[in-house]
Every structure is written in C-alpha cells, then in structure tokens.
Structure 1
C-alpha cells in the first residue's frame, strides 16, 4: 500500500485535520410512482428527505434505523450510484460534481463501498485477484503492478494469495468473499469506506473476525468509515458517533456513548428497548413500539414519528421538528435531536427486574 497512507498527514488532506472529510447538506431523493394507462406519475416515494450530517477524519459514523428508513439509499446517493434530487455533498472541502469542486470520478477513487451481499458484489467470471486488480487497472495502473497490489491486499485481509488468488466467487465462503470485497474497496487506496450492512450476512464468529479486521485496517491505513447496520450492538462496538434515521429523515445524532446511555428521541429509545436481553431477571413488560412505519408515499405531516409516538401533541402534526438544537442536561453539545416534546426526554421503561424465588 502507499506509504503515505500510513502517516498521520495524508498529502491529499487539502482541508486540514479539522475539516470534515464528508459533509452532507439537505440530501434528498424521491422516487416517482407511475401508473395508469399513460404510465403517468401518480405518487412519490420520499426515500431520503433533507438529510444532513458530517463525518470527521478518522472517525466511524454509524447509521441505524428500521428497514426502509433510507440508510442504504443515502449510501448510494453519496457514491452517486443514483443521482440526488437536491442537496450537496462536500468531500474534504470540495463540492462533489461542482464546476470548481472534485469530479465524481475522483471522489469515487477516494470513497469506496462494501455491500451486504458478498456474492452478487463480485463478478462470477473473474478470479479474486482479477476482481481486486480491476479498478487499479481502469485507473491506469499497469497489469503486473495491479496484480501485485491485489495479492498484497489479499494477504492484508487474511487470505493467502497462493490459495485464494485464482479462485472464483462460488469457491469461497461468505466470510472469505467479504474479505475480498474489503480488499477490492482498498485497492484504490481510498480515504473513506462506506460499509453497508457489510457483516449482516455472516455467522457471528466470522462477523467478529471481520469487525476486528476492519478496526485494524482503519488504524493502520488512517481510514474513515460510514458504517450502516441494523445490529445495534455492532454499531456500538464500531462507531464513534451514531445517526438514527426514521422514514427518510435523521431524528437523533451524537456520540455513541451519549446516544446509547441517554437516548432522547422516543424512536431511538424504542429502538434500543427492542434489543433482546440475555438477562433472565429482566423481562419486557410492554411492546417498546407498536405498528408499522407509515407509507413513505404519504408520510404523516409534521413529525413523521408522531403516529407511533406516545408523547405526540397537536404541535407534532403541524410543524416539522428541526435537527440541530443541542440538548440540555447531561448530554454533550454534539448530541442533537429532532423532537418537539420536552417530556419525551423522560425515561421510558419497558423492562422490570425480577428477583429469584
């Protein structure tokens, strides 16, 4: 790998260490729903709506939320696998795709992505070394140098090049394929890696190995991660900060310790209360959250969570809560929430202690 990546000062760091590596402002993506004889647009799915956040250099930002909340769509918008309807993405101080900013092709070289399905992410007609070397070759690296880099990366992710370089995807296990996908993401020496449910399909023992590998690579290569997962325990282990999404919007964001110890938004607390416990002395007394998420084609007015919120008031239906005001009390200033109701900061109890007979 490039020796420059193993130093504290990256020569590509134009914005300085205090400049966020990734800054997202008011990102939006709506998908048209067509129907009728003339196939006209009859509705709109609001997949991502006014999402803003930043990722500091060297940190891991975890994104959590129910299925369909917009996590993966946000990742694909960042990679420009689909074009956003509105919003701005700034990479190390340079607007992506802007006339005086950074071209999308250069952004993609510095920001890579690892997908959930390790098999469909790989070309079944290409060997492991060919898959890893493909991107460097497309960016002008010679064939021999690209293949040497691919073999070094295989060893870096724990796969012996002599055994795995010439294998095809169907000859590998799920954990081995995901290691190859990680190596392929590192082939262009990126600065930010988006991990979209990268360990969700793995067995727990293999998952732990891959998570430790990701941590080791982050430290040794000065990487920054955007970590998307539905597993709250994995997000807590991997992340420095956490962003909670609900129905296409961000409802809470802050340091991982503050979010997990003092979740303030009713949805965040219900999400954490739904985690299964291994303690037989703690029993669930009530459902932490009832009902299904509203239809994204016709989301509720105001706060989108109000139809499932025990604290909802008339104001919640009239005004969209804004994310940005820091919370008072024991929460750090960087812990922000989008909620109208001060009472929502009160503890919610869904478990009781049960003593032994």
Structure 2
C-alpha cells in the first residue's frame, strides 16, 4: 500500500501506462469567450486560450508563466472542467476525458488549489469539515473522513487539536492555504494544479508553503502544474516551464535551459524584468514596451510582433508554430529560432 493510500484510505487512480506515458496530455485546447462590441452590438470573441498543446510527465512539475490575461488561469480551469472548452482533447494517463474517463474520475485524479485562500473555503464549515467534505462525497464514512482530515492537517504542518474546529476567518492566509492543500490531497490525486497558490502570501510564508509543496510531492508521488507570475518561484519549484502570450504557448522547455538560453524575445523580456537584489544589476531600461494587443482582435502572424524589437516581414505575415530546437525538449514559436523561416536571424536550413 502506498503512503498516499495509507493516509487517505481511498484507492489511488490506477496507473495505466507506466512511467513513460505522460500523466496529462493536452491537444489543441481552445476557449473563446463571446462578447458584444461596436455601435450595433456585433458579436466578437476573446481568444483566451488558442490551440494550446503540452504534456506533463509523471512526477514532474511544469510551471506556466506569462503576463496577466495570457490565458494561464483559463487553461487551469479548462483542465479541471470548471468551464466548457470549445475544442481540444484532455487525456489523463492515456484515457480521454469525457469518453474513456468520467468527470468524477478526473476529479479524483486531479485537484486544484486556487489563489484566494479565503474564497476557496466555505465560511460556514470548520477546517475539519472542509477537508472531509470531498472524501464523504466519494463514499467515505463520516468518522473516517474526519480522521483523514486531521491526519492531513498534520501533514501540512497544522496541529489538528488546535485547527480542526476553527473556521476560515479565524486563521491566517498562509494557514488557510495549507488547509486548501490538505483538502486537495484528501482524494489521493495524482496531479495538483496550483493557480497562483502562493502569490497572496508574504515572502517568509511563501517560502514555507513552497517547501511544504516540495515535501508533499516527494511523500505522495505527486505531479504539479504550477501557475505563477513570479519567475523566481517558477525557477525554484519547476522542472519545465511553459511560457504563454495572448492565449498561445510561445516557449516550452527545461527550466534551466529556458533560463540560460531563452529562444523567444518575450521570454527574454520576462527574464530581464525579474527584480535583482544586486545593485549593479538593476533594470534601468524597460525590457518590453507597450501593452498586449486586444485579445478580441489579435495581430496577424506572430502575436508578439507588435512589441518585438526583432520583428521582420515574416513575423507579421506567418504565425510561427511551436518547433523543437534541440533534443532536450526545448521548443519555441519564433521565426528567429526556426530554420528557414525567412527571418534574417533564423538559423540556416
């Protein structure tokens, strides 16, 4: 019996494909929101997530970064089926969600921790009741689910004799986020999505929660999809990083490689904007100017070309596809990185 099963008392989702098969594969994920605009109320669409594809290996932590409005949180909500997708396939350990795998099964195998720790909890339930709620819905007896809740409180560093009978308003933001993590673990998930889970915490508490997440990952054999605007956090916790811009993936690869040799100008701009404690490395010139284009009417070709200092004719005419740059899994959607793209800085074919 695994450590996770011993703690939760719920049988884990069966591993069908072995280590080599990705735990999660997303193909062509798309979500457009209809809006009304103009003098006559013409219907238009906001392209929040536009043909996004990626995979997450078992035991891996993949980080998603990008400016506000780039589609990070919408992607997470589509994966959790908190909103309906317009197109695309979600495959969890070889089983297509909606056909071979029910939503109930998916929710057992995939859980989410949200940014707002207070809004995520029912103010009328005690901490113990909040954690025990999910297992009870899935058939666990009341007494067993409450015992499980107390065990998980201990796992996330909260003494159950002190915190079990408190209400969300009686504990701090960092403690509430620990409760949300415990609640996510109550169903023995294999994948946990963390959407800006530490961004509302002060730095000392943020570091404690990040270390807790890494300890829990090792103990329970978890896989993480970690969404954050903080590149230092992504660098610390992630194995691979996925960079999004205006609803599209523009770069993907091992975090060390992307940090050392970013292939997309947008990724370079994000890294250049990172604050440094070294006074000799202060950012004096803005690495990126202008606002992101309107997602209702995105630019043709590369969506970044209106803000890119290296833009040339191919950038405005042809949309670059995410292309393998090496054998290490580093990919980028930039004409400068794609051989034979027609850009003056592109490598030779």
Scaled by the length of structure 1, the TM-score of the pair is: 0.90
* Alignment correspondent of 1:198: 197
Instruction: Report the Cα offset of residue 15 of structure 1.
Output: 1.0
Q: What is the CA–CA distance in structure 1 between the aligned matches of 2:170 and 2:56, rounded to whole Å?
A: 37
Equivalences for residues 226-305 of structure 1 within 5 A: 226-305=225-304
Q: Could you say what secondary structure the match of 2:22 adopts?
A: coil
Does the alignment pair 1:338 with 2:338? no
Task: Give the unaligned 5+ runs of structure 1.
Answer: 347-357
Does the alignment pair 1:24 with 2:26? yes
Q: What is the CA–CA distance in structure 2 between the aligned matches of 1:290 and 1:37, rounded to whole Å?
A: 31
Q: 1:108 to 1:262 in 2, by over 3 A?
A: same
Q: Could you say what secondary structure the match of 1:308 adopts?
A: coil
Q: What is the CA–CA distance in structure 2 between the aligned matches of 1:129 and 1:4, rounded to whole Å?
A: 19
Conserved in 1, the CA contact under 8 Å of 2:335 and 2:346? no
Q: What is the CA–CA distance in structure 2 between the aligned matches of 1:264 and 1:104, rounded to whole Å?
A: 37
Q: 1:18 to 1:135 in 2, by over 3 A?
A: same
Conserved in 2, the CA contact under 8 Å of 1:264 and 1:345? no
Conserved in 2, the CA contact under 8 Å of 1:265 and 1:344? no
Conserved in 2, the CA contact under 8 Å of 1:61 and 1:239? yes
Q: What is the CA–CA distance in structure 2 between the aligned matches of 1:285 and 1:128, rounded to whole Å?
A: 47
Instruction: Report the Cα offset of residue 3 of structure 1.
Output: 3.5
Equivalences for residues 184-195 of structure 1 within 5 A: 184-195=183-194
Instruction: Report the Cα offset of residue 344 of structure 1.
Output: 6.2
Question: What is the aligned-residue RMSD (CA, Å)?
Answer: 1.9
Q: 1:4 to 1:257 in 2, by over 3 A?
A: same
Q: What is the CA–CA distance in structure 2 between the aligned matches of 1:3 and 1:168, rounded to whole Å?
A: 29
Q: What is the CA–CA distance in structure 1 between the aligned matches of 2:273 and 2:24, rounded to whole Å?
A: 31
Q: Could you say what secondary structure the match of 2:49 adopts?
A: strand
* Alignment correspondent of 1:350: none
Q: What is the CA–CA distance in structure 2 between the aligned matches of 1:283 and 1:274, rounded to whole Å?
A: 9
Instruction: Report the Cα offset of residue 287 of structure 1.
Output: 1.6
Q: Could you say what secondary structure the match of 1:202 adopts?
A: coil
Q: Could you say what secondary structure the match of 1:144 adopts?
A: helix
Conserved in 1, the CA contact under 8 Å of 2:184 and 2:192? yes
Q: What is the CA–CA distance in structure 1 between the aligned matches of 2:134 and 2:310, rounded to whole Å?
A: 51
Task: Give the unaligned 5+ runs of structure 2.
Answer: 7-11, 338-343
Q: Could you say what secondary structure the match of 2:293 adopts?
A: coil
Instruction: Report the Cα offset of residue 277 of structure 1.
Output: 1.4
Conserved in 2, the CA contact under 8 Å of 1:62 and 1:239? yes
* Alignment correspondent of 2:309: 310
Q: Could you say what secondary structure the match of 2:306 adopts?
A: helix
Conserved in 2, the CA contact under 8 Å of 1:114 and 1:194? yes
Q: What is the CA–CA distance in structure 2 between the aligned matches of 1:31 and 1:46, rounded to whole Å?
A: 7
* Alignment correspondent of 1:90: 91
Instruction: Report the Cα offset of residue 326 of structure 1.
Output: 1.9
Instruction: Report the Cα offset of residue 317 of structure 1.
Output: 1.3
* Alignment correspondent of 1:349: none
Q: Could you say what secondary structure the match of 1:310 adopts?
A: coil
* Alignment correspondent of 2:44: 43
Q: What is the CA–CA distance in structure 1 between the aligned matches of 2:161 and 2:216, rounded to whole Å?
A: 22
Q: What is the CA–CA distance in structure 2 between the aligned matches of 1:137 and 1:112, rounded to whole Å?
A: 16
Q: What is the CA–CA distance in structure 2 between the aligned matches of 1:11 and 1:37, rounded to whole Å?
A: 52
Conserved in 2, the CA contact under 8 Å of 1:65 and 1:246? yes
Instruction: Report the Cα offset of residue 113 of structure 1.
Output: 0.1
* Alignment correspondent of 1:80: 81
Q: Could you say what secondary structure the match of 1:28 adopts?
A: strand
* Alignment correspondent of 2:111: 112
Q: What is the CA–CA distance in structure 2 between the aligned matches of 1:164 and 1:249, rounded to whole Å?
A: 42
